[in-house]
Structure 1
Amino acid sequence: MSKNRTVERLLYAEKIDMGGFPVRQAFPTQHVEQIDPFLLLHHAVLKVPEGAIPHKSGVDPHPHRGFSPVTFVYKGGVHHRDSRGNDSVVYAGGTQWMKAGMGVVHSERPPKDIHEHGGEQEIIQLWVNLPKANKMDQPAYYPLQAQDTPVFEAENGNVRAGVVAGNFEGISGPIKTPSPVLALRIDMKAGATYTFPIPESYNAFLYLLHGKISVEGFGLSDELHAVVFKRDGTSCTFTALKDTQALLMAGKPLEEPLASHGPFVMNTQSEIMQAMRDYQMGKMGMLIE
């Protein structure tokens, strides 16, 4: 018999400026360094002005090492290019999962047809830590379109969960991760209730993009909040009080030392210094757009 987890805390996604882009950051906060293995969550809604040049808009080439930057696309699209030769656009409902590994340089731009898709981007970027044993793996990039994301349905279609990674209700997500991770893109109609099973050894949180829910055993949570759960049960039960769009993430904690600086996440400060040197020496490749 499943036991619902209790809520550890609610985290409000505060507005911050990220290199000139307004984003909301649910974590890290002053009190929450990470939700191991999840390091950072940004939620952004960006309008692309008419007349803007897509390949000069968005985020310029920048490096990463030691973790997986994951982008969940909710509106518009994201054009990814990187120093390993990957070049693709993922549209609304899709996910870009990049394992930075030993190092890669990438850019994130609006696609050239962004105004045919509403002229607006809504994304969540989540940083998923890599185990020490995989931090220097070869980089890899996985573009997953909406139509290639398997969907679980319940409550006569009033509960839908796109399974991006991990196993959920007999469905396996296409993204394979070095450490166990469950990633679900959830849509619930007002009035729908569902109990989501989560392995007891995993850390878990639910981020609400839009809507309002009641968490069984806790109470209400509004949009732009992350509901962080204790590791004390095998499920979470939600009732949607409005039509709700949310991201449920769970993962086995790595429980390893954490050292980070900007776009690099390693285990020691000396590894961070090495990452900076390697980037400056061009060992993560170059991206010329």
Structure 2
Amino acid sequence: MRTIKTLHRAQSAPIADLTTYRALPTNSVEHLDPFLFLNHHGPQTYPARNRGLPFGPHPHRGFETVTFILEGDILHQDSGGHRSVIGPGGIQWMTAGRGLIHSEISSDEFKQTGGPLEILQLWVNLPARLKMTEPRYTGLQQPEIPAVTLDEGRVTIHAVSGNWAGTAGAVQPLTDMALATVNFRQDGRLQLSIAAGRTIFCYVIRGRLLVNGQEAEARQLVEFNYDGDDFEARALTDDAVLLLGHAVPFNEPIVAAGPFVMNSEAEIRQAYQDYQAGRFGTWTE
């Protein structure tokens, strides 16, 4: 069984009236190659006639964003011409690649009526060979994401990418990366074999679980060593939820500045120059 290196607690980092916990990076962990960043927004309830999410148009280059909408919705729009509203249980996978501008706001309906909101956004790196790839976007509603039920119905895997118990995820990523959300009933047990050389990304969204023999609770990120193939999670509470992923680390330099993640300072400077020169596409409302 793979051993646990450290448990990292997400840090409070509110954005305007949006409750936010930053799970990566924090004071105790910078990144888990190739996983770069995780913000956990909510859970909270918005009143009627609210302003919604505050993420207006902004640029990205050099990585991908994977957004998990647990409650509420997101209206995504980008300079590549993509636009969609994704609701509870859905995901958005955006490859920034060589650069684009996007916004992530609430739908007009959500701003009018309000309601519960809980969203996670994960940034995953691209290797140097794909940093300048063509941008792309996939938005999927909950029914479009395969659900794998295990342990007599006590565990449900929502397979976003990769292979989970013989079921392929909904998204075919550019790199070898498996991502899923996992819902547990109490005492539900998930057992997986994950090659020792792969980075495991394991974040507890809700509830408490016993992960490889160690208790982890909501808003904790579990960092593993690279010393075993066996992964096991058992729910200690009903309705526990886990964000789980694994990937081969790139072992390349990571230089991040604001909305850009590249391999060198020179590439970061070029990203800013290209954005200011209008090379990330044209933003139209």
TM-score, structure 1 normalization: 0.93
1:189-230 CA-to-partner distances (Å, cap 9, x unmatched) read 01112212223321002111110011233x211111011111
Q: Flag the 1:118–1:53 CA change in 2: closer, same or farther, 3 A.
A: closer
- 1:164 paired with 2:160, answer yes
**Residue of structure 2 in register with 1:50 after alignment:** 48
- 1:29 paired with 2:26, answer yes
1:86-138 CA-to-partner distances (Å, cap 9, x unmatched) read 00011111110000000010000112222698623211100000010001011
The separation in 2 between residues aligned to 1:42 and 1:8, in whole angstroms, is 21
Given that 1:114 and 1:120 are in contact with CA atoms closer than 8 Å, whether structure 2 keeps it comes out as no
Q: Flag the 1:115–1:235 CA change in 2: closer, same or farther, 3 A.
A: farther
**Residue of structure 2 in register with 1:79 after alignment:** 75
TM-score, structure 2 normalization: 0.94
**Residue of structure 2 in register with 1:5 after alignment:** 2
What SS does the corresponding residue of 2:108 show, helix, strand or coil?
Answer: coil
The separation in 2 between residues aligned to 1:207 and 1:119, in whole angstroms, is 25
**Residue of structure 2 in register with 1:234 after alignment:** 229
**Residue of structure 2 in register with 1:113 after alignment:** 109
User: How far 1:17 moved relative to its partner?
Assistant: 3.5
Given that 2:4 and 2:212 are in contact with CA atoms closer than 8 Å, whether structure 1 keeps it comes out as no
| Aligned partner letter, 1:247 | L
User: How far 1:285 moved relative to its partner?
Assistant: 1.4
Cα RMSD (Å): 1.7
Q: Identity over the aligned pairs, expressed in percent?
A: 36
Given that 2:10 and 2:26 are in contact with CA atoms closer than 8 Å, whether structure 1 keeps it comes out as no
What SS does the corresponding residue of 2:272 show, helix, strand or coil?
Answer: helix
What SS does the corresponding residue of 2:14 show, helix, strand or coil?
Answer: strand
The separation in 2 between residues aligned to 1:254 and 1:186, in whole angstroms, is 25
**Residues 112-261 of structure 1 correspond to what in structure 2 (within 5 A)?**
112-114=108-110, 119-217=115-213, 219-243=214-238, 244-261=240-257
Q: How many residues align?
A: 283
For structure 2, the 5+ residue unaligned runs are: none
**Residue of structure 2 in register with 1:269 after alignment:** 265
Q: Flag the 1:53–1:210 CA change in 2: closer, same or farther, 3 A.
A: closer
| Aligned partner letter, 1:12 | R
User: How far 1:10 moved relative to its partner?
Assistant: 0.4
The separation in 1 between residues aligned to 2:259 and 2:164, in whole angstroms, is 31
For structure 1, the 5+ residue unaligned runs are: none
| Aligned partner letter, 1:266 | M
**Residue of structure 2 in register with 1:66 after alignment:** 62
